[in-house]
Amino acid sequence: MTGYVLRRLLQVIPTLIGITLLVFVTLRLSGDPIAAYLGSDAADSAVITPEQEAAIRQRLGLDRPLAVQYLVFLRNVARGDFGQSFIYQGRPAASLLLERLPATAALAAAALVIAILISLPGGMLAAVNRNKAPDTLVNVYSVIGDAMPNFWLGVMLILLFSVKLGWLPVSGSGTWRHLVLPALTLGTSMAALQTRLMRTGLIEALQQDYVRTARAKGLTPRTVLFKHALRNAALGYVTLLGLAVPGLLGGSVVVERIFAWPGMGLLFINGLGGRDMALIQAVVIFSAAMVILANLGVDLLYTVIDPRIRYQ
């Protein structure tokens, strides 16, 4: 077991190196990063002398050859140093990122809970009442959830719940009430896919031989559903929760912007806008690591849920 986990973790390293290379190359080949720093429209600066440009370039380590910059970068990353963010007056990118994690984690966790609260009963309801009214209703929800852009939904929720009804704060963070709307925005769209997969998984399970056997033995439909079919469907569902991590991280970029939620997504967008290499690299590498860990976690959970794997 430990060996398996270690092997999986080792496999992650080439993946991460591939990702850093991709980001690094796109970043450096796409124009002068300090141009965005100095040449911004919001800045008022009359004269930038070549000496000043050179001094800034040197401070940011941009005066060295690309390959050297990359190697230095890799060495530093291995030490947990993602470099200095130049749009944040040289603060370490790693500490900026760490500071934002709790906010994004809270948002993602709340969204996930909402998604589970919707998709678990929703999927069951639809599967048990297949092709009947509840099923159609759940289907319509899951389809609209997929077809509606998050940012549109978010703004509508603000207008309804905060501006019109005045029930919840518009934006920001601090209390659980601030978390409701962003989590709802992210969670409901996430639930769309999960509901559909829960439904499919359960329908599939209900058609299995052992469920038929259980029915034939005269067990109540309730027992059949909860004891047999659900346990089987849970396997697919857990995979899904693992797969939800990239969706949550990606979705948080949009949601955090709308609701001024001070997480990693907002940091990422600022980094992109300022072409801040250290920040962009830190976010990409970190989110990749999260996704990989989540997948590993799911694989381990399998062994807990699925007896066939456990007994091997």
Q: What is the footprint of another protein within residues 49-108 (CB under 8 A)?
A: 49-52, 54-56, 58-59, 87-91, 96, 99-100, 103
Q: Is 246 exposed, middle or buried (0-12, 13-18, 19+ CB in 10 A)?
A: middle
Q: Which stretch binds another protein (CB under 8 A): 116-124, 166-174, 233-241, 304-312?
A: 166-174
Cβ distance 119 to 200 under 8 Å?
no
C-beta of 2 vs 45, nearer to another protein: 45
35 binds another protein (CB under 8 A): yes
Q: What is the biggest distance separating any 2 CA atoms in the chain, rounded to whole angstroms?
A: 87
> What whole-number distance in Å separates Cα of residue 190 and Cα of residue 192?
5
Per rule CB under 8 A, count of chain residues that contact another protein: 97
Give the nearest distance from C-beta 113 to another protein in angstroms: 20
C-beta of 166 vs 218, nearer to another protein: 166
216 binds another protein (CB under 8 A): no
171 binds another protein (CB under 8 A): yes
**Tokens representing residue 64 in the block:** 């060295």
Distances (CA, A) of 197 to 146, 224, 233: 13, 20, 9
- Please give the residues from 184 up to 213 whose contact with another protein meets the rule CB under 8 A: 200, 203-204
217 three-class SS: coil
> What whole-number distance in Å separates Cα of residue 179 and Cα of residue 168?
9
169 binds another protein (CB under 8 A): yes
Cβ distance 123 to 194 under 8 Å?
yes
Among 128, 170, 219, 296, binds another protein (CB under 8 A): 170
- Please give the residues from 108 up to 137 whose contact with another protein meets the rule CB under 8 A: none
273 binds another protein (CB under 8 A): yes
> What whole-number distance in Å separates Cα of residue 134 and Cα of residue 234?
21
Place of tokens 């509508």: 156
226 binds another protein (CB under 8 A): no
Among 186, 234, 249, 278, binds another protein (CB under 8 A): 249
